[in-house]
Amino acid sequence: MKIEIRPIEEKDFEQIIVLFKEFALFEKLPEKMTNSVEQIKQERDLFNCFVAVVDKKIVGYATYFLAYYSWIGKSLYLDDLYVSAKYRKKGIGKKLLDTVIDLAKNKECKKIRWQVSNWNKNAQKFYEYIGAEIDDVELNCDLKLT
């Protein structure tokens, strides 16, 4: 199986929305996925994403943005890392994450931060395997503005 990791292109937006919805279902939060192709196009300058392509089909993605943390400085925030169920345990998630790590290093970031659901033990094991520290102290805060 040939896996291509590349930056997202506008022609991919329809497929990526399908995967966003799939990920929301996986997280048991489908009602929270409100993004659309139109919104991505409007906010394109903020949308950073690598996609994993197998046989011309997007099977996974990693979305991210640069951030600044007061305690450490320039960093990269990995918003989502997702691989469709059929393609898991084939090294695709690792390839996506390695691409994000390489980007963060090239941009001279001090760290990468992301979150993982407390029930997602497989993801936690994967992140610990690559050397990530999982902090079980901080909680997420969301303030909806629209």
| 61 included as an active-site residue | no
Question: Counting Cβ atoms within 10 Å, is residue 143 exposed (0-12), middle (13-18) or buried (19+)?
Answer: exposed
CA 42 remoteness from chain centre = 20
Catalytic residue among 61, 64, 82, 127: 127
Helix segments in 48-91, DSSP class H: none
Per the structure block, which two tokens stand in for 131? 């050397």
| 5 phi/psi in degrees, rounded to 5 | -110, 125
Q: Provide the residue type at 49 as one letter.
A: C
Residue 65 phi, psi (nearest 5): -155, 155
Active site residues: 127
